[in-house]
Structure 1
Amino acid sequence: MTYTGQVVVGGPGDVRHLDEVVIRKVAVGPLANDVYLLTCRRTGAQVLVDAADSPDDVLALVRAGSPTARLDVVVTTHRHLDHLRALGPVVAATGAAVAVGDPDAEAVAAATGVPVARRLRHGDVLRAGDVVLEVVALRGHTPGSVALAYREPAVVHEPEAAAGRVHLFTGDSLFPGGVGNTQRDPARFERLLTDVTERVFDRFDDATWVYPGHGADTTLGAERPHLGEWRERGW
């Protein structure tokens, strides 16, 4: 079946099969947080993006990728409570390491009682089997918000061939229709929009698929024409 990214709380998840990785998406909790599981097809290594809520549902997602509930790392995209309410139970059940953007790491550890094994910085790389994720810091929604960029391998055989499609997990920093909430703070909005512009839109092409922290997916091509509108409206 074709992946759409359309999921609702209590409903079935959606699954996307790529050459190196399987991406699974479910929605959980009262704020309909999106949770993503990336499973390396060769090694079975798994990365969870945001153990947001409803730990039983999150653990069921992990088991959908690995019957043994293997989970190598949980990346918490930022420190807001709706993105980490299931972190403690999921780590207790799986033994997964926790990775958080450096400026948000202490807040996540304090809120959950879970130690942060890795403090992420812009440009860092996370590896789980064949899955290679680049850390993209997007400051503004919170100081330590991060996105994760996975690039598919090129399918063609010429050495000068263009790289494959990018899949970008953006937390609450980029959605269909705009950047994340900055509470009408002009300085935070300017920082977030600048980071999103320079670190995302200026680097990745229109085919880039965006997996946000809530709601439907989008692409950079669908959002790029509206960057000027976002800046003009100020949110």
Structure 2
Amino acid sequence: MADTYTGRVVPGGPVQVRELPDLTIRKLAVSQMSNNVYLLTCKASRRQLLIDAADDAPRILEIVRDSGDGLEAVVTTHRHWDHVRGLEEVVAATGARTFAGAEDADELPVRVDEPLGHGDQVRFGQVTLDVIHLRGHTPGSVALSYQSPDGGTHLFTGDSLFPGGVGNTKNPGQSFDSLIEDVTTRIFDVYDDDTWFYPGHGDDSTIGAERPHLQEWRERGW
């Protein structure tokens, strides 16, 4: 892990790079919504996977070209417009296979090659990611879990889990009760306190930093 990694990025600013034994994680922010985009590179094969082609496709494509030997896959964590604005251009330029939660797949601006469900896996190069279905922010929201050989776990949670709470559930079709239940039983009840997570906007956090606040989140309802 690079000592300089903080997880703090701003639109137009430098990419944050985290080095794990078998995987390099690159994090950048794009657009006025400050969406996080994550590029994962398998060190053994140099093949790559992108999480959320949210916007600024030219910059994403430049980083892809500079970081490995091709983009194998794009995973979209959920259907919301601010997470898919660069998706068509990135897929057209790279030929990457597309993945998204099955319940959100038909709402994306590209055909989804692999609809995902809870417990599925996504593979690229020699890296495997486990799929966690988190219902409530959207019906098909997914998170991805990577287990590093050094024992650390890394979660990419989209807009379902942030430092300080779960994602927005105030709009029609969303459900706080569903999301807090899935986040509790599928993340906090499964992963240890050292687990690091990377959200769809803003800074990273750990499960241990957020665990003491779960009951507070339940009581406030957001």
- TM-score of the superposed pair, with normalisation by structure 2: 0.96
1:54-203 map, 5 Å: 54-66=56-68, 68=69, 70-108=70-108, 112=109, 114-154=110-150, 164-183=151-170, 188-203=175-190
Between the aligned partners of 1:190 and 1:3, the Cα distance in structure 2 is 34
SS in 2 for 1:72: strand
Displaced runs of 4 or more, over 3 A: 184-187
Q: Compared with structure 1, are the counterparts of its residues 32 and 221 closer, same or farther at alpha carbon in structure 2 (3 Å cutoff)?
A: same
Residue 207 of structure 1: aligned partner: 194
User: 2:103 is aligned with what amino acid?
Assistant: P
Q: Does the aligned pair in 2 maintain the 1:186–1:234 contact within 8 Å? A: no
Matched-pair identity in %: 59
Cα-to-partner distance string for 1:28-69 (whole Å, 9 max, x where unaligned): 011000000000000111110000001111112212322x5x
Is the Cα–Cα contact under 8 Å of residues 50 and 74 in structure 1 kept in the other structure? Answer: yes
Residue equivalent to 1:157: none
Q: Distance in 1 between matches of 2:203 and 2:174?
A: 27
User: Over aligned residue pairs, what C-alpha RMSD do you find?
Assistant: 1.3
C-alpha contact (below 8 Å) 1:123/1:136 kept by paired residues? yes
Q: Deviations over 1:135-186 (max 9, x none)?
A: 00000000000000000114xxxxxxxxx11100000000000000001679
Query: TM-score normalised to the size of structure 1?
Result: 0.91
Larger Rg computed on CA atoms = 1
Gaps of 5+ in 1: 155-163
Distance of 1:61 and 1:146 partners within structure 2 = 24
- Partners in 2 of 1:128 and 1:186 — Cα distance? 33
Alpha-carbon shift at residue 2 of structure 1 (Å): 2.2
